[in-house]
Each structure stands twice: as C-alpha cells, then as structure tokens.
Amino acid sequence: MRRLKYTPLLAALLAAAPVISHAVESAGNNMPLIPLSPAAKAPAPDLASPSKNLVKAAPSEDAFRETDVWNRIRSGYAIPDLNNSLVAKHVNWYAERPDHMARTSARASLYLFHVVSELEKRGMPTELALLPFIESAFNPTAVSSANAGGMWQFMPGTGRDFNLKQNAFKDDRRSVLASTDAALTYLQRLYDMFGDWQLALAAYNWGEGSVQKAIAKNRAAGKPTDFDSLSELMPAETRNYVPKLQAVKNIVANPGRYGLSLPLIQNEPYFTAVDKTSDIDLTVAAQLAELSVDEFKALNPQFKRPVITGGEQTQILLPKENAEKFHLNLAQWGRALSTWSTHKVTSARESIASLASKFRTTPEVIRQANNLPSRGVLKAGSTILVPKISASAGDIPTEIAENATINVADEPVAKRSNYRQAKATSSKTKSPIKLVKARVSRDDAGKKRRN
C-alpha cells in the first residue's frame, strides 16, 4: 500500500473540513461512556526539582524502520495516561465521527512525519504530534474566535515571543516549519517549568501563570497538584484539553477497538524545502512545481499575498517529486517570476481608484491582492502591493516586506441634507409647502467597518 498521495481530490476533501480551533464543548455531553482499561496516574510533581525527561534524547534506528508514521508515534508514547469520564466522553465523540477523523488524518498526512521527527530529535513524547488534532484539526490556516492562528494555534503576542513573524505579507504562525519549531520549544519550556507533561499541556492552553496560581492554591489547602486534582480550578476548555489529547491517543493506539481505521502514512518525508532565490508569484511557483494553487498553499500557508517575498532564508515547501519538477521548469522559464511591486500611500488623496489608474489595473485587482474590504480608504503610511509597470523593477526589499502595514479607514459618507421637500400639493389647496426632517438613522448613514 502506497503513502496517501496529495491530489486535487484530496485537496477538495481537506478544504471541505470546518475551520475550527477546538472541538465544540457541548457536543456529546450526553454520550454513553466507553470503558477504558485502567491507567496509572502520575504523582504530583515537585516543582522545586522538576523530574527528568525520560524519553530518549534521539530517535532510535527502529523508529526509521517503521513503515507507518502511526506506529512510530505509538512507540514513543511517554505521557502518563488519564482514565476518567471526560476521556471516555471525548473518545466517544471522535469514534462517532469517522468522517471528521478521516479528514483530519488526511490533512495530518502532509505534516506528521516532520512533527514526529522534530519531537524525536528533542527527546519529547511523540503523542505531542497529535496535539494539532485538538488545536486546529491539522488545519494550518485555522483561526479561532480569540485570533489564535495556525496548526498549533498561537496567539499573536505569543507567536511574536517565539519569533513567528506576522506582517502584511506573511504570518509565520501558519508556517509548517516555523510554527512546529515554536510550539515544541514552548512545550519543552513548560515541561521544564512544571516537571509534568499534563500540567505543561494545561499551561499551553491556559497560560503558565494560571497553572502556577492553581498549584499555589491547592498547596496552600494541602491538596495534590496533579492535573486531575487541579482540574476543578480550570476553565472548561482546559479541563477538557488533556482528556481530548488522551482520547486521540487511545484511538491512535488501537483504532479498531473504536470502529475506526487510519490511513497509512508512510514513514518518509512528504515534503522538502526549496530555497527562494528571488521574488516569485505564488501562482508561478505552483505552476513550476506542477501543483494546483490549493496544493501549494497547503504546504505554504504562511504567505498571505500573491507574491512570495523575503530574504535568503525564505523557503517554500514542495513534495519531493514536485521539487525536482520545480527546478527543471525554473531552469527553462525565461520570464519574469514576479509581477508585483509595492507602493507606500502618502496621503488620503491616493484613492484605490487613482492608484489603479496609475498602475494600469483595476480597483478590484488591488483590493484582492491586498485583501482590502469592498469599501474603505487606505490611510497614509500603508504599503500595498501593486502591479509592476516596469520590466526593470527589482525585488521588493526585505525590510519593506517585513515592516509593511496596511491600515484602512471608513469611507467618508457623502453629506446629505437633513430635510426633504414635501410632495407637491393640489392647486386647489392653499397649504404652504412644509419642510420635513429626514429620518435617517446613524447606522444607515454609515456603518463602522473594521480596519
């Protein structure tokens, strides 16, 4: 059986899945519970002297002899098991949704080899590779209601703390490589802080300060400080967070027990990194790699604009066979790789319509390229993409790409008279013409729009 191949049909399957951050808490509240085998509970950690990570410091040769990434994950389980009613509820939730598990596993097939390899390099438990099942359903473009983004659901500020760049051209919270590196670094730091993987996971979801306060409260009351004992102090999302991961862990350990099957994901890299030598349009990059735009975006979701900019460290990810095609086609291309440049708005008089005329395009093209609303005006200081009008125009400077911002203001509403003339009266009447005040609500006159 061959590795799950990424095709346009699979791309459509992946796109059909909902963009969600966490499984809906209310789903399955009344589900019958599936009994699970007993599991040992971890003792309460001594935070003054965190225990050592018992996972091997490097992947063993046996890990690379596996033919299936799922087996590689199973062999590296190292987090003590939870066995409670919440775990059983969430196991049941996933077991009753085979379509959701199939879609999520199909997405995961692109990324799991890389994530597991990175975990093994760091000597971390391999079940952490399943965390994006909970965070984003392995959707690298997922955005939560709280504006957490990417496969690992980083908040903007936390992302910046871990060097995930966020600007007008890209959002590294979506980057497969950068976000995975940041997430594992963060999780390891939390483990070093608490000496317990369950508490580290709770802190990843709730914040380390919140977990520290909960530990202090239980200690002051003479109570244990393990995850189960602290769960009553946690918000519902965090209280369910580790049980959800345990539920997925149980299913991956023995999918047949729950009436599910997992697609074979061969134990070999799905993608390889290709260095970007100059600016390149996203559509051109996909064409050179002989991929659809959707297939290209699935591996390179961090690029927010139709052109890929950046310095020498910028890379694009491609399936191995497509990377070879990319290099061959690039050598024979013989045309411009990028059709875009930038323009900095200097005054409010530079409307989108006037800019479109200046750069020989349409307002719709500029709005679409810069993800601008259908109404609204650009504020002075905004840096936007515009079509190149000169063949000699070079690449977009890295400092411009990394510091570009786009700010949109509400479009001014044309002033209207507060009065309207009454209808003409019959010549037989002698009533004077009255002035009637117009009843125009503030909302109708002009609604505020998000910048």
Rounded-to-integer distance, Cα 61 and Cα 354, Å? 63
Cα distance between residue 300 and residue 280, in whole Å: 13
3-state secondary structure 343-393: EECCCCCCCHHHHHHHCCCCHHHHHHHCCCCCCCEECCCCEEEEECCCCCC
Helix (H, G, I), strand (E, B) or coil at 132: helix
Backbone angles phi, psi at 435, to 5 degrees: -95, 125
Q: Round to whole Å and give the CA distance between 239 and 234.
A: 6
Hey, what's the torsion of the CAs at 367, 371, 373, 377, to 10 degrees?
-60
Local structure of residue 416 (DSSP, 8 states): -
Contacting residues for 449 by C-beta, under 8 A, at least 6 apart = 373, 375, 376, 408, 410, 411
Surface-to-core class of residue 14, CB atoms within 10 Å of its CB (0-12 exposed, 13-18 middle, 19+ buried): buried
Choosing from 135, 268, 290, 295, which is the catalytic residue?
135
Helices 176-194 and 197-206 cross at an angle (nearest 10°) of: 120
* Contact predicate 150/140, CB 8 Å: yes
Q: Quick check: is 135 catalytic?
A: yes
- Report the alpha-carbon distance of residue 238 to residue 134 in Å, rounded: 11
Whether 59 and 122 have beta carbons less than 8 Å apart is answered as no
Residues annotated catalytic, as ranges: 135
